[in-house]
Structure 1
Amino acid sequence: MEIINVDARTWELIMKRIEALADKTEDLCRNTGDKSLKKWLDNQEVCQLLGISKRTLQTYRDNGTLPYTQINHKIYYRPQDVEQAIDKLKSK
């Protein structure tokens, strides 16, 4: 393990910058509203809402009908995107 010494003034500057970054992040999250994945839907929830199979959902992702976000191997959908997809499907 390597030990690094930092003088007190430098440490205070680093901490102030970290706090400023945290404040900016909080402001951005507050302005955008949804700051967690709790409001996002997973594959199973979307299939149930749309009344479709997982394979059909895969087709919607592939052809761009339904936007999604992938984190690691898990796929999430914004509720408003699912609502738009429902509207598109109804109009066909």
Structure 2
Amino acid sequence: MEIIGMDSELYKELAKKIDFITDYIVNQKQSDSKEDVDETWVDGYEVCTFLRISERTLQRLRSNGQVSYSIISGKSYYQIKEIKRLLEDRLIKSGNDCLDDLIKQHKQYNEVRRKNKPQ
């Protein structure tokens, strides 16, 4: 194994560059996520909680083919664009403020998960 020594000023400069690159990547992800909100997937629990509907109502929409969804590991996921369509078609009697809460809380949840993720 080879040991490489480094001047403290050089180390500080390298650390600043790494921090700059990290900030750039995080900002890019945030700007990309703003554009792709409709493509975001949320689970059934989030949909029920923030749209103030029961799990049975969501199940009925799935069974009647009124909402598209995906099942991963036994859990149902829905795209935000599908939830918007349900609201526009008045299949769910919640307002757009509930949808905004859903999107906002989902983003916060993802940020917390990302920060707590072991590296």
SS in 1 for 2:46: helix
Give 5+ residue unaligned stretches, structure 1. 1-32
How far the C-alpha of 1:84 sits from its partner, in A, is 0.2
Partner of 1:65: 66
Runs in 1 of length 4+ with deviation above 4 angstroms? none
Equivalent in the alignment of 1:46: 47
Indicate the RMSD between aligned Cα atoms, in angstroms.
2.5
Q: How does 1:53-92 map to 2 (within 5 A)?
A: 53-89=54-90
Partner of 2:57, secondary structure, is helix
| Per-residue CA distance 1:24-66 (angstroms, 9 max, x = gap) | xxxxxxxxx96xx9x3110111112322100111001100111
TM-score between both structures, scaled by the size of structure 1: 0.52
Instruction: Provide the rounded CA distance (Å) in 1 between the counterparts of 2:65 and 2:52.
Output: 18
Q: Which AA in structure 1 matches 2:70?
A: T
Could you tell me whether the CA contact under 8 Å between 1:40 and 1:76 is conserved in 2?
yes
* 1:6-17 equivalences in 2 (<5 Å): none
Provide the C-alpha distance between the structure 2 equivalents of 1:55 and 1:68, rounded to a whole number of angstroms. 15
Identity of aligned residues (%): 39
TM-score normalized with structure 2 length: 0.41
SS in 1 for 2:76: strand
Tell me, yes or no, if the aligned pair for 1:41 and 1:78 is still in contact at 8 Å. Answer: yes
Q: Quote the Cα distance in structure 2 between the aligned partners of 1:74 and 1:61.
A: 13
